[in-house]
Structure 1
Amino acid sequence: MRVTIRPGDTLWYYSQLFGIPLPLLLDSNPGINPNAITAGSEVQIPGFISVGYTIKSGDSFWKLANERSISLDALLLMNPSVNPNQLQLGQSIRLPERVMSRIIEGRVNYDSSRFQEDLSALVEIYPFIKIEQIGESVLGKPLTELRIGRGERMIHFNASFHANEWITTPVLMTFINDYVLALTNGEAIRGVQTLPLYNFNTLSAVPMVNPDGVDLVINGPPQTVREEVIEMNNGSLNFNGWKANIRGVDLNNQYPANWEIEQARKPKVPGPRDYPGRAPLTEPEAIAMAELTQRRQFAQVYALHTQGEEFYWGYLGYEPSFSAQLAEEFERVSGYQSVRYVDSHAGYRDWFIYIYRRPGFTFELGSGVNPLPIAQFDEMYQAMLGVFLVALYRR
């Protein structure tokens, strides 16, 4: 929500007026010097929307403010040209409305269009969320990173490396929504206060690594590559078994961590799953994730996949000892089984541990056959909620 600064106002005053922590106001208005704000300039108030209201019989600013538990001065700020002592029936004014519930609905077929719509809606209400396009998919769809927080310690989550595991994207987006909602409303999540997490960490997230593949599974093949993908899918129009990107390369077999082992034992031609490509890091989606990781120097990474209700956290002994402590906590809060080693190479998590010697985790959400049904969404989200919090809370 945007408001116009009045003479004498400060961001600290707006923090008190709207009950929004000052760090969130500062981060929502990075171009404004808080020590020299200019009357007539606009600032953004996170966690609020501006709604229209038509004056009715008996209305007054005091009555409207009292009914909505908002400050009288907030109404005056929102309506600088309105004389509160001369309200007219039918007159239009603006009311500040605190956002108190999620705007994201995760229990739907969550394709790349839905993701981009939700992303735009989140940033509009919570402008302290920073977004950056880190690359493009094969078909030119944006690959987007979100960052939330002001801490030097950067924790990264990603989802939908695999196309038919797209339900991981709304799981991650729902946590992001709950996190910013708690921040702007001064609430805890499972007893954990969120503002200290915001100040200590920066949460990085790429919620949809493989948008072309996700759209293929949910919506079917696009006309531009229809014949090619149907041929790779053995002539079938059922893409429920498709894990790869639109070129038939498994993005989670693309990383230079013993890639040659996977090349030797995996399919030799593009297809719905497991083909590691002709070499490491040939695909734009995998390259974008590698470049982002190198640039950000994440302290920890978490890759969300399905299915199995377990998580993996070791790679050939390169994982730090701290990973074992985290794994114990994750097993406790999620109920998922902790698995240190699996016979797998060339994955994003494998590469991260191999190169950086820092904690990396792959979570296999839910159980059954991919793509998992929406009916499992709530259970998966509750299992992962504790993981999200521990990852941000543990030092």
Structure 2
Amino acid sequence: MIKYNVKQGDTVRKIAVRFQVSTEQLLSRNNMSLETYLEPGTTILVPKTEQTNHPLRETQTGCVYEYGWRELEEDRKSLPSSIYSEQIGTSVLGKPIWLFRAGSGPKKILFSAAWHGNEWLNTWLLMSFLHMFISKEESKEHWYDVNPETILQEVTLYVVPLVNPDGVELVQEGAAVLDKEKKDEVMKINGGMNDFRHWSANARGVDLNHQWPAGWKEEAAGSPDCPFPRHYGGEAPLTEPEAKAVYQLSMQEEFSHVLALHSQGEEVYWGYSGLEPPESAELGRRLAAAGSFRPVEDAGSSAGYKDWFIKTFRRPGFTIETGVGMNPLPPEASARIWVTGVPLLLESLTFTNFTK
């Protein structure tokens, strides 16, 4: 038996992978559940195996542990030189918000994910997609019916895989990662509960996908009027640094179209108040068909990033709801998200250029 001192960022799944033991063994030995947050500095018992320092890495089974800002930092270092990375902002708690860019074509497209803390599996999806797409391009392979080499001559793909790093960290690791003042604040917002798996807001209790000046007042009237784990749109639009970072990027690059990934329901939302271009309905159906999702014109809500993009640029914007179940979806859901998400993402790269 090994005595292991818990470090910041550790979860039950990560420790199980590192020591090559099953999560069931680890949980049983320490009388824990998968929902247990590990507090840094505490000691847990790990069954001894032949390999006790297995590197954390992905396998062909998909995502095997929680993917957050720490994993993104490590992943960023392993990207090929053909992928440009840039910090476009900083979260409330000081974490970098990263942009990745691939290709050199005139058609600019934005993929974004993890607007909500409990939707982090889409960060893994986008980073894994980026790795694979570049690998296919370098080996001159087709991916499904798409030629990555040709696409990257026509497209410049922008990817912001982790819009809300603070919220994701809170969902995955709990409030123990915070200093006392901030911990007291988020515990109060969370009603005194130490379970943050339902949390979708940023570290100030603001929902980053309710922050946008597109029906913001109307949406705010039916939402919480103070910081809350979900749906609170803030005191005004675009008050939060994470939303501001995406806003500034969008205004600067004026994308041809955008995809904002969320995780619940396997649906594609393509409209906003009739302001979308007439092609959006057909494009939404194409995306839905590629992923075996359901196309939906309107989500019945406002103040989202996709809503603002459509309103501001009159170009196609899509909210993509991957996965089925209850958020946060477990790593085991990654296989289905990959199989359905990849064809959809590839299909979106073939759309016409709406900036012409």
Counterpart CA distance in 2 for 1:262 and 1:192 is 39
Report the counterpart of residue 147 of structure 1 in structure 2.
101
**Contact conserved, 2:62 with 2:335, CA < 8 A, in 1?**
no
Inter-CA distance 314–278: structure 2 relative to 1 (3 Å threshold): same
What per-residue deviation string (whole Å, max 9, x for no partner) do you get for residues 113-133 of structure 1?
A: 0111101111xxx10111111
- Tell me whether 1:252 sits opposite 2:206 in the alignment: no
Report the counterpart of residue 304 of structure 1 in structure 2.
261
Report the counterpart of residue 322 of structure 2 in structure 1.
365
One of 326, 346, 350 as aligned partner of 1:389: 346
Report the counterpart of residue 19 of structure 2 in structure 1.
none
Inter-CA distance 103–198: structure 2 relative to 1 (3 Å threshold): farther
One of 175, 186, 190 as aligned partner of 2:129: 175
- Tell me whether 1:235 sits opposite 2:192 in the alignment: yes
Counterpart CA distance in 1 for 2:59 and 2:84 is 19
Counterpart CA distance in 1 for 2:281 and 2:215 is 23
Counterpart CA distance in 2 for 1:234 and 1:206 is 31
- Tell me whether 1:216 sits opposite 2:175 in the alignment: no
Q: Which amino acid aligns with 1:367?
A: V
Percent of aligned pairs with the same amino acid: 42
Report the counterpart of residue 324 of structure 1 in structure 2.
281
Equivalent position SS for 2:327 = coil
Counterpart CA distance in 1 for 2:198 and 2:331 is 16
- Tell me whether 1:376 sits opposite 2:330 in the alignment: no
Report the counterpart of residue 162 of structure 1 in structure 2.
116
Inter-CA distance 358–171: structure 2 relative to 1 (3 Å threshold): same
Counterpart CA distance in 1 for 2:63 and 2:290 is 22
Deviation at 1:223, TM superposition (A): 2.7
Deviation at 1:394, TM superposition (A): 2.5
**Contact conserved, 1:102 with 1:181, CA < 8 A, in 2?**
no
Alignment of 1:1-395 (within 5 A): 106-122=63-79, 126-221=80-175, 222-224=177-179, 225-395=182-352
Q: Larger relative CO (CA 8 A, sep 6+): 1 or 2?
A: 2
Larger radius of gyration: 1
**Contact conserved, 2:291 with 2:344, CA < 8 A, in 1?**
yes
Deviation at 1:345, TM superposition (A): 0.5
Q: Which amino acid aligns with 1:390?
A: E
> Which runs of at least 4 in structure 1 moved beyond 4 Å after TM superposition?
101-105
Q: Which amino acid aligns with 1:223?
A: L
Q: Which amino acid aligns with 2:162?
A: M
Equivalent position SS for 1:372 = coil
Deviation at 1:106, TM superposition (A): 3.1
Deviation at 1:102, TM superposition (A): 8.3
**Contact conserved, 2:63 with 2:332, CA < 8 A, in 1?**
no
Inter-CA distance 296–103: structure 2 relative to 1 (3 Å threshold): farther
**Contact conserved, 1:104 with 1:173, CA < 8 A, in 2?**
no
Once structures 1 and 2 are overlaid, which stretch shifts more, 380-389 or 287-296? 380-389
TM-score, reference length from structure 2: 0.80
Deviation at 1:251, TM superposition (A): 0.3
Counterpart CA distance in 2 for 1:232 and 1:108 is 27
Deviation at 1:290, TM superposition (A): 0.5
What per-residue deviation string (whole Å, max 9, x for no partner) do you get for residues 144-201 of structure 1?
A: 1001001011010000000001111001111101101101111111132110000000
Equivalent position SS for 1:257 = coil
Once structures 1 and 2 are overlaid, which stretch shifts more, 299-308 or 366-375? 366-375
Deviation at 1:105, TM superposition (A): 6.0
Equivalent position SS for 1:202 = strand
Q: Which amino acid aligns with 1:204?
A: Y
What per-residue deviation string (whole Å, max 9, x for no partner) do you get for residues 307-336 of structure 1?
A: 011110100001111212211211211110
Considering only aligned residues, what root-mean-square deviation do their CA atoms show, in Å? 1.5
Deviation at 1:361, TM superposition (A): 0.4
Deviation at 1:104, TM superposition (A): 11
Counterpart CA distance in 1 for 2:280 and 2:64 is 32
User: Which consecutive residues of structure 1, in runs of 5 or more, have no partner in the other structure?
Assistant: 1-100
Aligned residues: 292
Inter-CA distance 104–202: structure 2 relative to 1 (3 Å threshold): farther
